[in-house]
Structure 1
Amino acid sequence: MANGKVLSQEEFNKAKENASKNGKIEESILKSETKNDSIINTTRITIITKDEDGNYFDPYSEPKKLLYKHFPIENFKNNAKKQFSQNYLKGKPTFINFWFRHCIPCINEIPLLNSLKEKYGDRVNFLSITYENKKSVEEFLKKKNINFKHITDSKKQLDDLNYSSYPTNLILDKNGNVKYVFGEISNSEDDLSLILDELLK
């Protein structure tokens, strides 16, 4: 599918070929279904562009190293300073948002984050993780609430993961493995809902 339109394989390959003129193509299948004798894939295309030195630059290359692997929630601590269990995220899909208070794109996507939480409720784990301290985050949330479970004071853990691009958003399956990596998501509501609906099946 392209912009909600169903394309033949030939048309899709042509669209990818045209898009590849702007950079390297990354393709993620969000949903796959069989109708009659056809397989219809709902696909998200990301274009990785080159930096000024002519090298491909992906600001989310570090988070993508965890694709299809266990997210190390056990390295993080809750508000009582106790480390989470390795199995804490197992049993339902998980949405993790990495942010900080002075990140404008992070702030811009708060309405969508809250909308997703309202839509899926307790069927999905919703976590927000930041390197900032608990007190600063609590003061911020009095003015602009993010209706997620908050994990603060996580600078060491984020440094260990080498995360430096914000916002970063991860979607995990029911086993706690990373399935999708997104940057800023303000225009991705349909894709995110499609992914979560599939993971809930």
Structure 2
Amino acid sequence: MKLKRTQLINIAIILLLALYFFTPIGFHAKVYLNRLISHNPVPVEERAQQFLEDYDFKLVNSKGTVVNLKDYKGDVIFINFWATWCPPCVAEMPGLQLLYNAYGEKVTFLFIARDKKEKVSNFITKKNYNLPVYFESGFTPKTLYSAALPTTFIIDKKGNIVVAETGSADWNSESVHILLDGLLK
């Protein structure tokens, strides 16, 4: 049986889609695509900013050390919810590492993984990241809850959520540096 050209094209498309959706090649393609389409995060307009009232949010790191968000009240706080299985999350990690390298001593960074501890530890080690990774140990405050990943919040010293971003973004952009510098003054 001889296949027509359109049938061959349809088979090729199905194979490419299967590679994209069901193989590691597809995962890496999604990461690359997310890096290409990532954008500069935009601050929330002042009149639309939410205020973080509930700072009671317990987190635990991979070594078992427990921290609470309320310990950082009054700091500029950068919170990123992510997972190793999430291509947009993986796509923004190099920029997040660079931002952490630049501001890790001035800003409180909380990278909260919604994933298995072992997978996260392997991922962080394999990529040579030194980000402060935590896991939820209690209920997430309603204001910070999002089912979407990645989701990132930047909270100013007064508790205003000045950035609430869902999806892959370029966190090491000049605009983010300017924003953080302004918040730290």
Range class of TM-score, shorter chain = 0.5 to 0.7
Out of 98, 112, 119, the residue aligned to residue 136 of structure 1 is 119
Q: TM-score, normalising length from structure 1?
A: 0.58
* Separation (CA, whole Å) in 2 of partners of 1:27 and 1:98: 18
Percent sequence identity over matched residues? 29
Check 1:127–1:27 CA distance in 2 against 1; reply closer, same or farther (3 A cut).
closer
Higher Cα Rg, which structure: 2
1:181 to 160, 164, 170: 164
Contact 2:155 2:161 in 1 (8 A): yes
Gap regions ≥5 residues in structure 2: 1-41
CA distance in 1, matches of 2:141, 2:71: 22
Q: Which residue of 1 aligns with 2:4?
A: none
Task: Give CA deviations for 1:9-39 in whole Å, capped at 9, x if unaligned.
Answer: xxxxxxxxxxxxxxxxx98459xxxxxxxxx
Q: Structure 1: which 4+ aligned runs deviate by more than 4 Å?
A: 78-83, 158-162
TM-superposed deviation, 1:89: 1.4
Unaligned runs of 5+ in 1: 1-25, 31-63
Alignment of 1:102-117 (within 5 A): 102-117=85-100
CA deviation vs aligned residue, 1:21-62 (integer Å, no higher than 9, x gap): xxxxx98459xxxxxxxxxxxxxxxxxxxxxxxxxxxxxxxx
The structure carrying a bigger helix percent of its residues is 2
Supply the distance in 2 between the matched residues of 1:85 and 1:96 (Cα, whole angstroms): 13
Number of residue pairs matched? 141
Partner of 1:199: 183
TM-score computed with the length of structure 2 as normaliser: 0.62
Whole-angstrom CA distance in 2 between matches of 1:100 and 1:82: 20
What is the RMSD of the two structures over their aligned residues, measured on CA atoms? Answer: 3.2
1:157 and 2:157 correspond: no
Answer 1 or 2: higher relative contact order, Cα 8 Å, separation at least 6.
2
CA contact (8 A) 1:68 1:179 kept: no
